Amino acid sequence: MLSNFNHERWAMCCVSARAQRCLVEECLKWITQRKAFGKPLSAQPVVRNKLATMIARTEGSQNWLENITYQMCNMSYKEQANKLAGPIAFLKMSSTRSAQLTATDAVQIFGGRAVTQSGMGRFVEHAHRTAPFDALLGGAEDVLADLGVRQAMRGMPKNARL
């Protein structure tokens, strides 16, 4: 059963990572074309800093996903259930939380356009509206965190002491 959940959650992490990449791309396009105070938004240090944080978060999710994917490709189904259920649970928890933060940052960059369901901000609006729902599918964040910790504790030697 855990193997099936692993693959389901892995697929959700793929979707989450891709959504974050799309949000970053939309924001990069937007800040080069939108002008504020006579300059493109890209000239504003605050906007660039927000985008830098978004990119770092997105790359972190992508890297972790690639690491887990490599392990999945090189482990048997049984090994995956025994060794990857916790890390995949942590990845899913982290990537969906990251996607929510990235969507919120994208709303800040897009401003009023990010609350319309049509036009240039439609993708940002949709991502911001649906990202919290993605965090519930395949197990809520707190349930996944507990699963990850329990699996990590199972791997601890019984005589481990400080």
Which residue has tokens 């992508």? 62
Whose CA is closest to 139, among 64, 85, 74, 102? 85
For the chain, 162 residues long, give each residue's pLDDT as a single digit of tens: 555 789 999 999 999 999 999 999 999 999 999 998 899 999 999 999 999 999 999 999 999 999 999 999 999 988 988 899 999 999 999 999 999 999 999 999 999 999 999 889 999 999 999 999 988 989 888 999 999 999 999 988 999 899
Task: Please report the domains of the chain, with CATH numbers, ordered by start residue.
Answer: 2-30+45-154 (1.20.140.10)
Q: Which residues contact 13 (CB under 8 A, 6 or more apart)?
A: 61, 65, 68, 88, 91, 92, 95
Gap between the Cα atoms of 20 and 98, Å rounded: 8
The burial of 8, by beta-carbon neighbours within 10 Å (0-12 exposed, 13-18 middle, 19 or more buried), is given as middle
Gap between the Cα atoms of 3 and 77, Å rounded: 7
| In contact, 37 and 159? CB cutoff 8 Å | no
Total-model pTM: 0.90
Query: Residue 44, CB half-sphere, CA atoms under 13 Å: how many?
Result: 18
